[in-house]
Amino acid sequence: MSANERSRLRQRYREGRLMYFLMRVALALIVGILGLIVGVIAWRGARELNWEMLTQPPTAGYYLGGGGGICNAILGSWWLAVGATFTAFLLSLPLVLFLNVYARRNGFINRLAVVTRLSLDILWGIPSIVYGIFGFALMLAVGLRASLLGGIIALTLVELPILARSLDEVLRLAPEELYTGTLALGATPLEYAQVLLRQAAPSVPTALLLAFGRGIGDAAAVLFTAGYTDRLPGGLLEPVASLPLAVFFQLATPFPATQARAYAAALVLTIIVLTTGVLGRALSARLSRYVVR
């Protein structure tokens, strides 16, 4: 090997090592920053967090630093996200069954399935503020004011593509033999759907928790549709508070004491979202032992 070749080789290895180094730096940076976010929120929020904040609704002077808490927002967010996740689930279940059972045939119905999947992808990418505006326009059309129901409608639009896509991804993995085998036994497509659902069961909690976490953290969709109130959620047609908006509004006040409470609210929100995420993953790992592969 000539000296020239050897230096060329060294050059190639040096480039590789440099890139390897940069990759590790990039990954360390990502993990570090994400850790920093959780760390900062936890550190600033924990100082403000107390029992009163979690269990009391705001009192009259709350935004000036008076007593009370964000119980209204926690409960409001809970009902918004539960309602939206439930509705989105009711809608996405028949949808994914259509995609994976009935659309297996060729022709028009199969083409419809392709377009449906593309539509879901596109809906998934639409910013939630657009859903917020669309939901608001929808509510104006039917004469509905800012309310829990309005918020649920908008959040359902946000969550539906998330839920439908993650369920669809699971059902698509079902082995072809399951389909042919079930049909060979004389089952109808609907009966195959039942078999398929058992197959998807382990992933349902994960998908639900994922969508729930998305819904509870989304602020832009509920900004005009759910409104905001200091009272506890009263009914479907009354406005409700939500945690992200509680963070946002408290931060927007000029009083440091109230701003500090936004940190606590953000910590509560982060804890809820991270818990649902961890829980979802753990549940699916535990339940997926009985799936046919």
Partner 1 sequence: MNSTGNLAPNRGASRGTFIQYRARHVISWVTGILFTSLSTLIVILVPALLGALLVRSWTLVSAIPLPRLLIGTEWRPLSGAFGFAPFIAGSLWVTAIALAVAVPVALLGAIYLAEYAHPRTRTSLKPLIELLAGIPSVVYGLWGILVIVPVVRQLAAFTRTDNPTGYSVLSGGLVLAVMVIPFILALSEEVLRAVPQGLREATLALGATQWEVVKHVLLRQARSGIIAAVVLGFARAFGETLAVLMVVGNVVQLPRSPFDAAYTLPALIANNFGEMMSIPLYDAALMTAALILFLIVFSFNFGARLVLRRVGGTDDVSQ
CA nearest to 116, candidates 100, 133, 102, 99: 99
Kindly state the smallest distance separating residue 22's Cβ from partner 1, in Å.
6
Q: Are 100 and 174 in contact (CB under 8 A)?
A: yes
Closer Cβ to partner 1, 123 or 144, answer by number: 123
Tell me the H-state helices in the chain.
Answer: 3-48, 51-55, 71-100, 108-125, 128-142, 148-172, 176-184, 189-200, 203-217, 243-252, 256-287
CB 270 within 8 A of CB 179: no
Q: Which residues contact 160 (CB under 8 A, 6 or more apart)?
A: 88, 91, 92, 123
Residue 257 interacting with partner 1 (CB under 8 A): no
Measured from the CB of residue 231, what is the shortest distance to partner 1 in angstroms? 19
Q: Which is nearer to partner 1, 133 or 232 (CB)?
A: 133
Residue 34 touches partner 1, criterion: CB under 8 A: yes
Separation between Cα atoms, residue 95 and residue 132, nearest integer Å? 23
C-beta of 225: minimal distance to partner 1 in Å?
10
**Does residue 177 touch partner 1 according to CB under 8 A?**
no
Phi, psi angle pair for 291, to nearest 5° = -90, 140
The residue range among 51-59, 66-74, 124-132, 231-239 that interacts with partner 1, by the rule CB under 8 A, is 124-132
- Enumerate residues 6+ apart whose C-beta is below 8 A from 248: 219, 262
- Least Cβ distance, residue 66 to partner 1 (angstroms): 22
46 binds partner 1 (CB under 8 A): no
**Size of residue set near partner 1 by CB under 8 A:** 89
Closest CB to partner 1 among 97 and 241? 97
Ramachandran sector of residue 226 (left: φ over 0; alpha: ψ -120 to 50; beta: rest): alpha
CB of 59 to partner 1, least distance (A): 24
Shortest distance in whole angstroms from residue 34 CB to partner 1: 4
Which structure tokens are listed for 59? 């009192």
Q: Is 156 helix (H, G, I), strand (E, B) or coil?
A: helix
Among 60, 64, 130, 292, binds partner 1 (CB under 8 A): 130
Q: Tell which positions 152-171 bind partner 1, by CB under 8 A.
A: 157, 160, 164-166, 169
For residues 205 and 287, the answer to whether their CB atoms sit within 8 Å is yes
Using CB under 8 A, which residues numbered 63 to 122 contact partner 1? 91, 94-95, 97-99, 101-102, 109, 112-113, 115-116, 118-122
Give the one residue of 7, 8, 10, 19 binding partner 1; rule: CB under 8 A: 19
Measuring CA to CA, which residue among 39, 76, 6, 115 is closest to residue 243?
A: 76
Q: Identify the residue among 7, 22, 66, 198 touching partner 1 (CB under 8 A).
A: 22
Contacting partner 1 within 178-237 (CB under 8 A): 186, 188-191, 193, 210, 213-214, 216-220, 223-224
